[in-house]
């Protein structure tokens, strides 16, 4: 079998491993081992499923606090996601649909079905190679009938042919003999959060040697999956169907010493692909590549793309094996979940690696993930902002639904941009997302120099959201504008007054809008007239943006040592954390009622510290230090967006022990087997947070938002010998190398992709 080389080459710095099977951690590994290529994503489930883990259970899932909810399916949940393929859930609003499971491969010997829980399995090992995105599994199965087999699985979702997935199974008979029944197919017995989004599933054999399952979703999408199968020895495959599963069935007599290799290819096409042609025609074309080019060639092309990706994305940490692997895992998932060629979608909160958060887009994209893309793949960064431009119409509808002019981005965005969050406290009050997007687009422009993006797209977002803000503010007795009824980043205080983070973001957004408009008016009267016309911009608009931007209340100034999270923050109750939080390995939210939480000074996540991190120039070191010391003890870090912010600011303060503690927390979020953190999907914002901890925190890179030159102020953890990474910066590539003693930045000769 061709994977022999890779099998020997489990590089500890590049491979995440599972050394033994346990039902307890299967779901965690399903999330952690998710494979994908931007276009499609599949969780790392076993090819044969798992005993007792039904995938088509229907139940009524209620809107709830996802962070604290106990999810169903404790042991295993398949996940097959195509960004943009969504449907309406009666209670949860629009959600990404968990599509038919196309990895299905089942083995039966003398009536005994292979199952990791039930079968007698030895020498089990599974690993994901981050270099090439291939998932491997090998073990010995001792069947009851006496036949003993070594099975070796390998699969990848092609990075070079985005509609293709290839699977391979090597079977080596070690002792005994018997007939192996093999079934390879597509299983539509899948429900999303307990709901059936499939209006119909049509199965067929469109041509000899090819089976198909065509799904019509309740969102109106058609998904065609085609599959073919090859074996190294002659097997007569017949198409069969059982319940919602269509598959090729074949059998082979094996005796000790026999080897058999089975290869399966799947092509997936949808009606929303940006391609001409009938579904079947396109699907067959991609599938035939498997027949024509062969698996080896396809693998080579695939691996080449991954190598290229890593060239510009990898960060090398010498002296810290754990941090190295965790960081590469994060970067792997960021690369995988980025839909590079499709600005109609962005990166959802679970990185298309689970049903949690319903495949929706949050502020995480802009604040947590975007910096990685600005500096490793500027085109992808641009696409992420373009998603917001493409959903401006949805944002306009959101504003209208609340009775406002302009555009208001959704707290939980669907592909249309319309609000999908079913819990009003977030949807109604967590309004900073709308300003975060303007911050992010300015960050992109400042990091890349792509000013044209402002004039052609960005300014539309800026003007339309400014129109919303000038209506969303209230004026107070002193003539200042206020933002009342606001949930800041800290989601444990749902309705506060003048949240410092939010007000500062909104002020930035309004000021930048005025600044860009005034600049273009001076520099290019024609262009300004175009913008005026396109956006029906009036002098009154401008005057109002300026007025509100100038007079929006900022609840701190140079004399405020501890920045107040909001005007009313001191009115909330103090808590005795030690009494309440009995087990700090579990979220604080599990130990307190929402009612009490909502009236107490217990932060879910960084809020003021997030503000300082994004606007470092606004604050002195003393303000940072005092705010850190005040807020850290009352921050629960129940949100995965928190630890990295504290870690970065701790590094800035030179508090390396604290920074190390937060680094550990960030790494554990998805990597810890004990916490099973990846069970419901990847905390993809935390992946971006880990990148930021390394680059902004330990390397001390000054944000491109505020600094036109590359500037570092490193604070490496003690045991780190060297830190090396690449940076895209204003259209050029740079390499940085940092040791405890010194650092170097040099320009690379590589050209940036257009």
Contacts with its own copies, residue ranges (CB under 8 A): 60, 62, 90-91, 401-403, 424, 428-429, 474, 482, 484-485, 494-495, 497, 567-568, 571-574, 592-596, 598-600
Cβ-count burial of 439 within 10 angstroms (0-12 exposed, 13-18 middle, 19+ buried)? buried
441 touches 464 (CB < 8 A): no
- The sheet with strand 112-113 has its strands ordered as 112-113, 105-109, 177-187, 245-255, 238-242
Pick between residue 218 and residue 428 the one whose CB is nearest to its own copies: 428
567 is in an annotated binding site: no
Q: Which of 355, 412, 491, 532 is catalytic?
A: 491
CA distance 25 to 22: 6
Those residues whose C-beta lies under 8 Å from the C-beta of residue 277, and which sit 6 or more positions away, are 285
Q: Taking the complex as a whole, how short is the minimal distance between the CB of residue 486 and its own copies, in angstroms?
A: 8
Pick between residue 532 and residue 567 the one whose CB is nearest to its own copies: 567
Q: Taking the complex as a whole, how short is the minimal distance between the CB of residue 64 and its own copies, in angstroms?
A: 10
Helices (H), 553-694: 577-580, 594-597, 608-614, 621-631, 643-652, 656-671, 684-692
**DSSP label at residue 130:** T
468 touches 434 (CB < 8 A): yes
Pick between residue 226 and residue 399 the one whose CB is nearest to its own copies: 399
Region of residue 158 (phi > 0: left; psi between -120 and 50: alpha; otherwise: beta): beta
Q: Taking the complex as a whole, how short is the minimal distance between the CB of residue 476 and its own copies, in angstroms?
A: 8
Those residues whose C-beta lies under 8 Å from the C-beta of residue 12, and which sit 6 or more positions away, are 321, 325
Q: Taking the complex as a whole, how short is the minimal distance between the CB of residue 424 and its own copies, in angstroms?
A: 7
256 touches 175 (CB < 8 A): yes
Pick between residue 19 and residue 574 the one whose CB is nearest to its own copies: 574
216 touches 198 (CB < 8 A): yes
CA distance 21 to 122: 10
364 is in an annotated binding site: yes
Q: Taking the complex as a whole, how short is the minimal distance between the CB of residue 358 and its own copies, in angstroms?
A: 17
363 is in an annotated binding site: yes
Pick between residue 62 and residue 276 the one whose CB is nearest to its own copies: 62
Q: Taking the complex as a whole, how short is the minimal distance between the CB of residue 635 and its own copies, in angstroms?
A: 19
Record the tokens describing residue 613, joined without a space: 């991190």
Enumerate the β-bridge partners of residue 203.
213
Pick between residue 237 and residue 572 the one whose CB is nearest to its own copies: 572
Region of residue 101 (phi > 0: left; psi between -120 and 50: alpha; otherwise: beta): beta
Pick between residue 282 and residue 497 the one whose CB is nearest to its own copies: 497
Q: Closest Cα to residue 138, out of 155, 156, 123?
A: 123
CA distance 377 to 358: 26
CA distance 391 to 395: 6
Is 491 annotated in the active site? yes
Q: Closest Cα to residue 570, out of 480, 621, 630, 488?
A: 630
Strands 198-207 and 177-187: unpaired
Those residues whose C-beta lies under 8 Å from the C-beta of residue 579, and which sit 6 or more positions away, are none
429 touches 375 (CB < 8 A): no
390 touches 343 (CB < 8 A): yes
CA angle, corner 659, sides to 657 and 661, nearest 5?
70
Pick between residue 495 and residue 656 the one whose CB is nearest to its own copies: 495
Pick between residue 92 and residue 695 the one whose CB is nearest to its own copies: 92
Task: Give the residue numbers of the binding site.
Answer: 363-364, 604-605
- Residues labelled catalytic: 491
Task: Give the residue numbers of the binding site for substrate.
Answer: 363-364, 604-605
């Amino acid at each position: 079998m061709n994977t022999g080389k890779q099998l020997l080459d489990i590089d500890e710095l590049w491979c995440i491993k599972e050394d033994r099977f346990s039902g307890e951690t299967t779901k965690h590994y399903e999330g952690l081992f998710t494979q994908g290529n931007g276009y499609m994503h599949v969780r790392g489930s076993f090819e044969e499923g798992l005993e007792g883990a039904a995938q088509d259970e229907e139940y009524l899932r209620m809107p709830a606090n996802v962070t604290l909810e106990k999810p169903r399916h404790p042991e295993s949940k398949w996940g097959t996601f195509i960004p943009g393929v969504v449907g309406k859930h009666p209670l949860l609003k629009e959600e990404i649909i968990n599509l038919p499971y196309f990895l299905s491969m089942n083995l039966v010997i003398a009536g005994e079905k292979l199952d990791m829980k039930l079968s007698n399995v030895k020498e089990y090992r599974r690993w994901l190679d981050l270099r090439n995105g291939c998932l491997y599994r090998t073990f010995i199965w001792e069947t009851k009938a006496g036949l003993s087999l070594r099975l070796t699985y390998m699969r990848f979702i092609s990075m070079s042919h985005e509609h293709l997935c290839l699977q391979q199974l090597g079977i080596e008979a070690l002792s005994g003999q018997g007939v192996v029944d093999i079934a390879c197919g597509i299983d539509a017995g899948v429900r999303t959060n307990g709901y059936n989004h499939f209006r119909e599933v049509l199965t067929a054999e469109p041509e000899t040697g090819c089976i198909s399952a065509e799904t019509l979703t309740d969102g109106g999408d058609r998904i065609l999956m085609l599959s073919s199968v090859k074996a190294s020895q002659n097997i007569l495959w017949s198409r069969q169907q059982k319940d919602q599963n269509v598959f090729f069935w074949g059998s082979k007599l094996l005796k000790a010493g026999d080897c058999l290799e089975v290869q399966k290819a799947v092509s997936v096409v949808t009606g929303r692909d940006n391609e001409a042609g009938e579904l079947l025609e396109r699907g067959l074309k991609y599938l035939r590549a498997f027949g024509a080019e062969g698996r080896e060639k396809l693998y080579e092309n695939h691996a080449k793309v991954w190598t290229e990706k890593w060239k510009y994305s990898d960060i090398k940490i010498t002296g810290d094996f754990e941090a190295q692997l965790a960081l590469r895992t994060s970067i792997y998932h960021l690369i995988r979940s980025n839909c590079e060629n499709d600005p109609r979608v962005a990166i959802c909160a679970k990185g298309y690696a689970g049903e949690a958060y319903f495949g929706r887009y949050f502020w995480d994209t802009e604040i947590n993930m975007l910096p990685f893309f600005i500096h490793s793949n500027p085109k992808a960064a641009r696409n992420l902002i373009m998603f917001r431009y493409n959903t401006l119409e949805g944002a306009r509808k959101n504003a209208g639904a609340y009775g406002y002019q302009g555009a208001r981005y959704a707290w939980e965005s669907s592909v249309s941009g319309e609000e999908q969050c079913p819990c009003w406290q977030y949807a109604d009050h967590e309004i900073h997302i709308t300003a975060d997007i303007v911050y992010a687009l300015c960050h992109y422009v400042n990091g890349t120099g792509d000013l044209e993006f402002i004039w052609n797209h960005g300014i539309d977002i800026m003007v339309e959201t400014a129109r919303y803000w000038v209506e969303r503010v209230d004026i107070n007795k002193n003539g200042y504008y206020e933002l009342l009824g606001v949930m800041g980043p800290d989601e444990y205080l749902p309705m506060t007054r003048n949240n410092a983070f939010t007000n500062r973001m909104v002020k930035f957004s309004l000021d930048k809008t005025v600044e860009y408009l005034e600049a273009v008016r001076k520099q290019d009267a024609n262009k300004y007239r175009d913008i005026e016309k396109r956006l029906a911009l009036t002098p009154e608009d401008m005057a109002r943006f300026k007025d509100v931007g100038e007079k929006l209340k900022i609840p701190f100034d140079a004399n405020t040592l501890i920045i107040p999270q909001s005007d009313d923050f001191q009115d909330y109750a103090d808590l005795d954390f030690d009494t309440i939080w009995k087990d700090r390995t579990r979220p604080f939210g599990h130990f307190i009622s929402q009612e009490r939480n909502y009236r107490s000074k217990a932060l879910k996540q960084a809020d003021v510290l997030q503000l300082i991190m994004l606007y470092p120039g606004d604050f002195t070191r003393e303000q940072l230090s005092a705010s850190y010391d005040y807020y850290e003890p009352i921050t629960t870090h129940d949100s995965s967006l928190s630890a990295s912010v504290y870690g970065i600011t701790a590094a800035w303060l030179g508090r390396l022990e604290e920074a190390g503690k937060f680094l550990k927390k960030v790494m554990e979020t998805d990597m810890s087997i004990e916490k099973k953190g990846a069970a419901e999907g990847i905390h993809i914002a935390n992946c971006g947070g880990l990148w930021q901890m390394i680059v902004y925190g330990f390397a001390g890179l000054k944000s491109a938002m505020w600094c036109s030159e590359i500037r570092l102020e490193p604070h490496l953890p003690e045991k780190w010998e060297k830190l090396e990474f690449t940076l895209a910066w204003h259209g050029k590539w740079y390499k940085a190398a940092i040791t405890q003693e010194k650092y170097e930045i040099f320009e690379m000769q590589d050209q940036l992709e257009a």
